[in-house]
A and B are shown apart, each in its own frame.
Chain A
Amino acid sequence: MSFFGFPPSVLLGVGGAAFAATIGLYILKLRRRPVAVPFSPIWQRVLKDKDASQLYSRLKNLLSLLLQLALLTLLVLALGDPRPTALAKKGETTVVLVDTSASMQASDVLPSRLAQAKAKVHELVGGLGGSDRMLVAKMDASTVPVTTMTGEATELNEGVDRLVATDTRVDLRRALAFSADVLHGVENPQIVVVSDGALDTDGAGKDLGNVPVRFIPIGKRGRNVAITGFSVRRYPLDASRYEVMLEVTNTDAAPENIELTLLGDGNVVDVSRLSLKPKERLPRFYTDLGGASQKLEARIRLADGTKDDLGADDRAYALMPERRRARVQVVTRGNTYLDAALLLDEYLDVTTVAPAAYNSGGAFDLTIFDGVAPQAPEHGGALYLNPPESGSPVKLGRALSDFGFDSWDKHSPLLRFMAVDNVQIAHGHALVPDKDDHVVGASEQGPIVVSGRRDGHPYVVTGFDPRDSDLVLRVAWPLFVLNVIHSFVEEDATYLSSFRTGEVWQIPAPSDDATVWIKDPAGMRHEVAVKEGRATFFGEHAGFYELEGSGKAAATLFAANLVDPDESQIEPVKDLQIGGERATAVAGFHIGIRRDVWVYLVEAVLLLSVFEWLGYHRRITV
């Protein structure tokens, strides 16, 4: 036994003084308080027999003194912080990484895996020695410490109690890198990972050096069916309709029958039953859906009415792109075919002006110059149909006659869904593109459709008047006009039907706001800075979010999903391999047994105090 607190010489001094004081107080205690009685002869009659037991009374008094001296001895020993010599080693510095990813919400161990993990960490805290220190951190897509590096059990336990599971996956590399940084240069470091093992260990643990990693496995089984993919898009040519792609995965080794429900704005759109083979990933498409749905939600549940072990991946959310009207300006002397093509899309705001009335600088997504060209470049996108030499963004080459599309860019969005191979054109001009321009279509005699940018503004130029061809008589004509408009509006190109949890989201926001408010699915509001028209936010929970700017504009909705097949694999692992080495079980760390003897000494003092109190009141020790 060694003393790690006060040295024995000090203990002897303190103990001697305390013993002397106790005995002195004990002698004072023997002074009895005077009490009057009405008739002492009755007391005399009773106390005649008492004299015979005086020796016994003295012995009982001595017992009281001995008890108090025993209490004092235990307290003095506790001050010395005695410990078995076998355990006399330097304290350990431990970083405990508690998995708070989505899989830890699984309820295969009640009430949840996270609750079991917390209980395990509480046991670790209970086993801390006097010189041990510990830091507890949550580990999911980010790694955040919830305590300081401390030996205080109270702070550690409070930090553990604050842990909450998120709808994200675990970034083990980030967590281990954090731990390595924290433990850099300390003696007896170790890392304890408390997890169900649904971890991506590739490349993890490279920076750990000699820091041992311990592993406490959580969970006992993994019956789970998950939605691992969910997205929605509008049809390009009919934005009022949309299609949904959904993927369902059975991570269990047994087949499962599920019921899949699709809801639009809270109303059931479709209910279907699916049979999934073991480990099967089943994609499913809902095509040509209509209605005014904005919020889409998919839910699955087991057909037999029971629940799988993880409910977090049984729901997925998506938001359809908000349709807005494209503002189109047409500068023309009159073009029936062009007017007809623009009538096909009801989501166009078309403004037609005569060339003489044209004034540049309007807020239009696209301006169509029909046979004319402005002297100053247009601010938005521009479609030039047979422009004159003056004002055209592309130089006109030689005149052409009786030509057609001999080659064209089949992957260009401007020509999608179009067949232009036999278009006949009476006359026009070849175009002379710059080196950064893109030739969309060309005849053997030169480019006839070119796209590019001038001063940052996109344009498309045709070297012929469509009315001088049979293009305007074809279905391809309105498709070409609408493709140009949609390519300039770029609605589909940047839209995401949902964000993925555990990633940093760049959310389009009003660029004139410095900050915006984001309300998460739980209703909590977060103030987020806006930079270059984007609000940057790290989302951890699946569901619908709202973004509110400072203006009067309505809040912008967006959705977030887990949709992570790896995270939905909740079968617990018993062994964790990090850097090619197996993480060992927690050792040298007697969970639940404190290595501080003084704690037990103080507990003994309390116990003896209870006995003394009972003895005093039962008149045993007085």
Chain B
Amino acid sequence: MLDFFRKSRPSTAPRAPRTTTALFDDDFQKKLETLAIVSRRVFAGRMRAERRSKKKGSGVEFADHRDYVAGDDFRFVDWNVYQRFGRLLVRLYEEEEDLGIYFIVDCSASMGFGSGRKFDQARRLAAALAYVGLANLDRVAVIGVNDEVVAQVPSTRGKARIFTLFQFLEKLEANGTTNLGDALGTVVAQHKRRGLAVLLSDLYDPAGFERGINVLRYNKFEPYVVHVVDPADARPDLRGDVHVYDCETGDEREVTVTDSLLDRMEAASRDYLGDVERFCAKSQVPYFPAEVDVPFDELVLRVFRRGGFLR
């Protein structure tokens, strides 16, 4: 029935998928359209694709001067400066281009730990934000990583492409170890066009979460960290003598779980979150914690209010 409406009356609603999946069901898709409307209201007055790059080029807005070198176009020589200072300077303009949004989804085993709620939440958030991006005529790419790039959808634009993203996200699986530094290094190498890089991850990286974020920073991407958090990770339902092992690395440790140990575990998890948040603040990277218990649409709205995702 939704196909009928799509053909007869173009709508801003996402096209109905050929098959409805559990992850992106009808209810999810209805909420997406609501979020798209809300995003337009929040960012009313903005021009489409008004995402200015730092690249100097042939735009109309003055950016800077530089010394003339042989071969430069004479049309850009600033003759007024030459008249006043006797130097040949070339006027530089900001080049306008539609920069991309890269949704980088952590597909390591820790994301699927337990009931996989973190992985589901990450995929739902990626899908929702991607839809908002597509609705704003941005160029959107989705990349799955663990210690390498496991799969990706090349940059695309237009709302009609959202179902391609759904199918892609649906097929992603959480396994392998986490190495954000290496994986994101591959991402930046593969994508020359810089842009907003939304990292959706639990940041459980044995090599340190900082490496991956810094890779994005150092390669002129604008990182945006969505930290997917499961409270059950901080206080697991365990008692007694157990033999714990890391679900990714297999590191082992014998431990007797008591209430006091669980309290300390909870405190350590809070400290870890605090470390991530402090690092992001220090690095001027937008940071957004996303708990699995909070509905994804509410989280998306929080992202909007927080700013930084759409400008």
Q: What's the nearest-Cβ distance from chain A to residue B277, in Å?
A: 16
Is A25 on the interface with B (CB-CB < 8 A)? no
Is A554 on the interface with B (CB-CB < 8 A)? no
In the complex, which of the residues B113, B253, B259, B271 has the most CB atoms of chain A within 10 Å of its own CB atom?
B253
The reply to whether A38 and B242 contact each other, CB–CB distance below 8 Å, is no
Is B63 on the interface with A (CB-CB < 8 A)? no
Q: What's the nearest-Cβ distance from chain B to residue A394, in Å?
A: 113
Task: Encode contact with B along A17-38: 1 for CB under 8 Å, 0 otherwise.
Answer: 0000000000000101111111
If A38-B204, A619-B258 touch, does A46 touch B265 (CB 8 Å cutoff)? yes
The reply to whether B247 and A37 contact each other, CB–CB distance below 8 Å, is yes
Pick the contact of B113 from A38, A42, A47 — CB < 8 Å? A38
If A622-B241, A622-B256 touch, does A45 touch B268 (CB 8 Å cutoff)? yes
Chain B count of residues within 8 A CB distance of the other chain: 35
Q: What's the nearest-Cβ distance from chain B to residue A617, in Å?
A: 8
Q: What's the nearest-Cβ distance from chain B to residue A38, in Å?
A: 4
Pick the contact of A619 from B249, B253, B255, B256 — CB < 8 Å? B256
In the complex, which of the residues A32, A33, A44 has the most CB atoms of chain B within 10 Å of its own CB atom?
A32
A37 to B258: give the CA distance in the assembly, Å.
16
Q: What's the nearest-Cβ distance from chain B to residue A62, in Å?
A: 14
Interface residues of A in 45-59 (CB under 8 A from B): 45-47, 50, 57
Closest to B272 in A: A42
Is B148 on the interface with A (CB-CB < 8 A)? no
Is A210 on the interface with B (CB-CB < 8 A)? no
Is B233 on the interface with A (CB-CB < 8 A)? yes
In the complex, which of the residues A38, A40, A42, A47 has the most CB atoms of chain B within 10 Å of its own CB atom?
A38
If A47-B255, A50-B255 touch, does A36 touch B244 (CB 8 Å cutoff)? yes
The reply to whether A40 and B251 contact each other, CB–CB distance below 8 Å, is yes
If A39-B110, A44-B253, A46-B265 touch, does A33 touch B242 (CB 8 Å cutoff)? yes
A546 to B254: give the CA distance in the assembly, Å.
84
A403 to B32: give the CA distance in the assembly, Å.
142
Interface size grouping (class) on chain A? 20 to 34
A518 to B204: give the CA distance in the assembly, Å.
90
A46 to B261: give the CA distance in the assembly, Å.
8
Is B71 on the interface with A (CB-CB < 8 A)? no
Q: What's the nearest-Cβ distance from chain A to residue B233, in Å?
A: 5
The reply to whether B243 and A32 contact each other, CB–CB distance below 8 Å, is yes
Pick the contact of B265 from A30, A41, A42 — CB < 8 Å? A42
A12 to B265: give the CA distance in the assembly, Å.
48
A45 to B204: give the CA distance in the assembly, Å.
14
If A46-B264, A619-B258 touch, does A40 touch B249 (CB 8 Å cutoff)? yes
The reply to whether A35 and B256 contact each other, CB–CB distance below 8 Å, is no
The reply to whether B259 and A40 contact each other, CB–CB distance below 8 Å, is no
Task: Encode contact with A along B231-253: 1 for CB under 8 Å, 0 otherwise.
Answer: 00100101111111111110101
If A46-B264, A57-B256, A619-B256 touch, does A40 touch B246 (CB 8 Å cutoff)? yes
Closest to A60 in B: B256
The reply to whether B242 and A36 contact each other, CB–CB distance below 8 Å, is no
A463 to B6: give the CA distance in the assembly, Å.
139
Pick the contact of A36 from B204, B240, B245 — CB < 8 Å? B245
A35 to B114: give the CA distance in the assembly, Å.
11
Is B269 on the interface with A (CB-CB < 8 A)? yes
A45 to B269: give the CA distance in the assembly, Å.
10
The reply to whether A32 and B202 contact each other, CB–CB distance below 8 Å, is no
The reply to whether B233 and A38 contact each other, CB–CB distance below 8 Å, is yes
Residues of chain B within 8 A (CB-CB) of A35 are 236, 238, 242-245
Q: What's the nearest-Cβ distance from chain A to residue B122, in Å?
A: 14
Q: What's the nearest-Cβ distance from chain B to residue A49, in Å?
A: 8
Closest to A29 in B: B241
A30 to B251: give the CA distance in the assembly, Å.
20
Q: What's the nearest-Cβ distance from chain A to residue B42, in Å?
A: 34
Closest to B118 in A: A38
The reply to whether A34 and B264 contact each other, CB–CB distance below 8 Å, is no
Pick the contact of B245 from A34, A42, A44, A46 — CB < 8 Å? A34
Residues of chain B within 8 A (CB-CB) of A619 are 239-240, 256, 258-259
If A44-B253, A619-B259 touch, does A32 touch B241 (CB 8 Å cutoff)? yes
If A45-B268, A57-B256, A622-B240 touch, does A37 touch B202 (CB 8 Å cutoff)? no
Is B154 on the interface with A (CB-CB < 8 A)? no
A37 to B262: give the CA distance in the assembly, Å.
13
If A43-B265, A46-B264 touch, does A38 touch B202 (CB 8 Å cutoff)? yes
If A41-B206, A47-B253, A50-B255 touch, does A36 touch B113 (CB 8 Å cutoff)? yes
Question: Other than the known A39-B202, A619-B258, what 7 A-B pairs have Cβ atoms closer than 8 Å?
Answer: A34-B244, A35-B236, A36-B245, A38-B204, A40-B253, A43-B244, A46-B268
A-B contact pairs, 29 of them (CB 8 A): A32-B242, A32-B254, A34-B242, A34-B243, A35-B243, A35-B245, A36-B246, A37-B113, A37-B233, A37-B244, A37-B245, A38-B110, A38-B202, A38-B233, A39-B202, A39-B246, A40-B245, A42-B265, A42-B269, A43-B244, A43-B253, A43-B265, A44-B253, A46-B261, A46-B264, A47-B255, A619-B258, A619-B259, A622-B241
Instruction: State the 8 A-B residue pairs at the shortest beta-carbon distance, nearest first.
Output: A40-B246, A39-B204, A38-B113, A32-B243, A619-B258, A38-B110, A32-B241, A40-B251
Instruction: Enumerate chain A interface residues (CB-CB to B < 8 A).
Output: 30, 32-47, 50, 57, 619, 622
Instruction: Enumerate chain B interface residues (CB-CB to A < 8 A).
Output: 110, 113-114, 202, 204, 206, 230, 233, 236, 238-249, 251, 253-256, 258-259, 261, 264-265, 268-269, 271-272
